[in-house]
Structure 1
């Protein structure tokens, strides 16, 4: 019998189904969930909300007044803290999800539609930033890409005369192409010269700001005819995104386009060969180059697609949210907020979708918190910043909530190992 023949029974035996060990399997699954990034992200949000609650309590006048006689009546201070924090987050819910004080369901659901409207550009821009992250690129140029997309879409929507829906489609495509080309500048510089994309995209942001300012101040380009203000004319009705739920709500079809972008980006990254090359270059460009992948061409492709996604955010702002004309602040900080959304979503399309919805709720509900409870709107911004801080420090989050650290045995496993060691030492001494 040959060596090869003696190995066949062993391989067949190894391929035979083994009896499943359910406790170990469930334990491994739970450990994977506990040490995974998704759970860490959730606890990062929880930690940020807790810190935000402390800030709300410390800045509330009633809490400050009750704290003056805390040792005489500690219940008053605790009650004031509960009312301050509970009232603030109740107002956040009423302003972003559903207003229970409304006279009808149609009015009560309006805050949710506002949340979806604010989340639309955050989702689209977050996809552009997250896609670049997956390929190992830091697309910090969301502001510039949005502004150039807004300029192109705004020019088509105000200067051209086309019927609906052709006018809307042409303006939409023009904006997406403008965003892609603006990001492509950084991509080609990265591919050809090795210029760092962080530097080039930041510089392109500044160029876009001043270029748009020139366009808005020049007759015949973007400035409204007969006006000296740096603002465009209203978008033509044939180029405005239709409203999804009628004139009573401001939610437009840009939200549906953002959902389509999420689905396309997910398919691109997880099911296409191009997405595989993106992820391979992001993991290790040297290994990808050795495997025959053109790293420079991949960088250019990534930035073009990322810029197109960010451009969709700029188009939705111009043709959907601000159709009555826009000025130089049309990006509204979304280009930089998209970085936060991408980080919170772990650069995964579905994660970015939920992160965009969360930040849209913060933005919408923050105004209600300030108006009804007197909570400074800056606290919402602090909570958003804390989310990023905690996401950037996962060991801190795991330590705060007692989660196991990756690569380290759990407390139960360490105790079991200690018991085994002591038992072995006792047996050795007895022997």
Structure 2
């Protein structure tokens, strides 16, 4: 009996403040706020990136312009918590070192805000996956961006400890947003390459070590500030500061060499079953059947016609004699949304204009204008053309006379026999690229 009564209760486990901060309190809410904010911003601009892997990567990268300042503000608010609670003196009596106490409060916010950014980027990729038309995911920038968000939270925590005002958090967010915005808007100067949210195009791919250098640059500054504020030997802050300076020097000295063009941007995928053939950038290879179908009315009417360009190509250069410029699919959100053409008729009309390839003639002759209009109306009838005709029909005498001539020219081309029309179109396309259609029979 005495043994039972003398048995002592087991000792309570030692408190784990870091675990408590991670699982409860402000940190999970800060991460949720980052996720919700970025989710709303990405959803609002979904038409511009959903369906293209490169566009998705560029858009999630540039949201660092919001995620970084938001994480810094969250860290700053957490850093001023003890001052608001008036428990600074109480915390000064505990056994743990000032550095351990700071990290126990700061790391959870840094981890949760970084996780919020990473979750938003992951959800954006999931939203793109059903609509992607080629290419592959571009996660190369995520490590550097995620570390930059966590580093912003750590820096913000130190500011919250140092600046004794409740306005520190919103003011820090505003300052961070303005500072990153100025760097992002800069088109020259090496300092812009230190911007974690440096804007990129949808064909830019970082060299393999760029995210690593960016992570060292941002994390080095954050840990230098933490050690300078809370370490017993503040000289230790020189080590992460030196690493940050070295990484920053590499980023600024390399400059535009940090990026290269994705190989797929230089590749074309073609459907040669039609004349002209239809070629599209390999990043959107999945759209090729859709484009061919949209142009089927044009290519069907051109069957047997000579002197045509060999193909339509989606390129960013001037078309050569053997090719015509395919109407642009990018930037997404205009002619293409979520992997679908928004207006196939308009696309066919623009492709027909590219076949005509008229230079900027200062004084086009009436014969040239009538021939161009008749060909465009025959190959790619467009609702917009009827709208312009209705406007001219309600115009003055000159407008109505011009409309009558255009309608007569269109009717003459449509009334030709198939062989006659093929010969006429062959003669017409022989003059494409010039300002002279004298070799084309009159309509």
Task: Please give the TM-score of this superposition, normalised by the length of structure 1.
Answer: 0.26
Work out which structure has the larger RCO, using CA pairs closer than 8 Å and 6 or more positions apart in sequence.
1
More strand by share: 2
**Larger C-alpha radius of gyration, 1 or 2?**
2
More helix by share: 1
